[in-house]
Amino acid sequence: MILTNKHEPTILIEELHWQSCRLQDELVKIYEFIDLPEKIKAIEQQNSTILRAYYANALTHNIVDIKTVKYIVSGNIKPKGINERTVEHYLKAEQYLGSVVSEPLSIQMLYQLQKILILDLYNNREDINLFSANATRLPEKLSPTAEMELESLFEFMNHDDEFHPIIQSWILHFRLLNIRLFSECTIKIASLLQHFWLKKKGMDVFGLLSIEHELYANKNEYQNFWDDQHPDFIADQQQQFDFGMELYGMQLDRLKNLLRSYFRKQVDFEKLNARQKNIMNYVFERGYKLKEIDDSVLNKRQKLIMYIIQNRGFISTKELVSEFDCNRKTIQRDFTELTEQNLVKVIGKGAGLRYAVNLTERKHESLAKYQSSWVEDEIAIEQI
């Protein structure tokens, strides 16, 4: 069916889908909170590039050893043979899209991807001759029907302000699979443009996403949603979208585990006792919610005390002495400052004295912004 109007996807957005969108936002905040060294950030971004190139090619049965892909990405070897050069041209296509990330989606991008992924790959070779096993390729032109459908899709993508960018990216991915594009590279084009869209919208988690990994791990189910051998094949749009968002959630879980492993190295997690491990698990999950306080207001130990109190609800001086391995006067001095600033309050007396988060007394309004979001919510509830 030719689409003459703007593409309007008929999909139902469920709470599970929104949870993935929220998890993406949470991962960005955790990433910023744990503050990885620039060298580590660069390594992980390159690792994600390697994974995208490796799995995108594996999906089209172009199997190249992942170490070889790593060497191609890092520039340590010159690609030889059609399989290795296919990986190289996939990387060139990703670089091209990165250079035009500020531009809207257009049909011209598809023709440029055809040139990089197909024409340059097969035609610009030293071994090309009449008897070559891999024949040269001629430029293909999209059919009028395909162009109309693409124009409709791109108009929707470039102007829609209703759907979340992550949701838009899966609409784009599967719609491209179901439009007859060129004779090959449809999957690669769909993956490349999805990554382009997420990067354009700032949703690629600082370049760490490699959705192709999940597509390959679930390739049998993935192939049920499109059929390049039968152009008239029509898949259920809702099922496609649900499947895509499920894969996206898997990818985010994988990234969260990666960030958790780095955070645990930062805090020497394995050397901590059980209670300290619980505290550090909380700091990783919720630490970013306590907005960063200037060091001139609270020192690092006092910030960590606030994390602990917000996790447990209340705590005693004695318990913190053992946690921080310092003397009682040091912790008592910290609590005196926190109490004066109305960030904590005293509950109980004598041996039962504890310190808790101060929800109501706010003598210094300038410090209100330093409370975590859930504490602010509690205050709002009490005021009602």
State the Cα–Cα distance between residues 346 and 314, nearest whole angstrom.
9
Instruction: Give me the percent of the chain exceeding a pLDDT of 70.
Output: 80
DSSP letters, 92-113, are HHHHHHHHTTTSPP-HHHHHHH
Structural tokens at position 242? 């649900």
| CA–CA distance, 26 with 189 (Å, rounded to integer) | 29
On whether both 238 and 317 belong to a single domain, the answer is no
User: Given 210, 226, 260, which residue is the final one in a domain?
Assistant: 260
Q: What is the mean pLDDT of residues 50-69?
A: 91
Mean of pLDDT over the chain:
82
- CATH assignment of the domain containing 244: 1.10.3290.10
* pLDDT tens digits, 303-316: 788 877 776 677 88
More confident of the two residues 149 and 350: 149
> 148 and 22, same structural domain?
yes
The CA-to-CA distance between both ends of the chain, in Å, stands at 55
| CATH code for the domain of 340 | 1.10.10.10
How confident is the model over 137-146, as pLDDT tens digits?
788 899 999 9
Residue 235 lies in a domain: yes
Q: 271 in a domain, yes or no?
A: no
117 with 206, same domain: the answer is yes
Residues 298 and 223 in one domain: no
Q: Given this model, what pLDDT does residue 53 score?
A: 95
Q: Does residue 369 or residue 102 have the better pLDDT? A: 102
Residue where a domain terminates, one of 243, 260, 277 = 260
pLDDT classification of 300: cutoffs 50, 70, 90: confident
Do 252 and 196 lie in one domain? The reply is yes
* Predicted pLDDT of residue 2: 40
Distance in angstroms (rounded) separating the CA atoms of residues 312 and 344: 13
Co-location of 159 and 290 in the same domain? no
pLDDT at 11 (0 to 100): 65
What pLDDT shows up at residue 383?
Answer: 37
pLDDT at 56 over 80: yes
Residue 380: per-residue pLDDT:
43
Q: Name the residue range of residue 229's domain.
A: 15-260
229 within 8 A of 2, measured Cβ to Cβ: no
Q: What is the mean pLDDT of residues 62-72?
A: 90
pTM for the whole structure: 0.74
266 inside domain: no
- Has residue 3 been placed in a domain? no
- What is the pLDDT at residue 360? 54
Has residue 268 been placed in a domain?
A: no
Query: Which of 34-43, 50-59, 232-241 is least confident?
Result: 232-241
> Residue 345: which pLDDT band, with cuts at 50, 70 and 90?
confident
**Tell me, what's the pLDDT at 381?**
37
Question: Which is more confident, 22 or 286?
Answer: 22
Higher pLDDT, 293 or 336: 336
Q: Which two tokens stand for residue 118?
A: 């197909």
* Same domain as 158, residue 32: yes
pLDDT of residue 197: 97
Same domain, 159 and 110: yes
Which tokens go with 92? 């060139």
> Is 40:208 a contact under the CB 8 Å cutoff?
no
In a shared domain, residues 214 and 299: no
Are 305 and 229 found together in one domain? no
Report if residue 274 sits inside a domain: no
Whether 267 is covered by a domain: the verdict is no
136 pLDDT above the threshold of 60 = yes
Higher pLDDT, 371 or 337: 337
Instruction: Tell me: do 248 and 293 sit in the same domain.
Output: no
- Residue 266 per-residue DSSP state: H
pLDDT tens column, 249-290: 999 999 999 999 999 999 889 988 888 888 888 888 877 766
Q: How many domains does the chain have?
A: 2
Give me the half-sphere count of Cα atoms (radius 13 Å) on the Cβ side of residue 150.
Answer: 22
On the question of pLDDT at 238 being above 80, the answer is yes
Residue 180: strand, helix, or coil: coil
253 and 293 share one domain: no
Task: Say if 106 falls within a structural domain.
Answer: yes
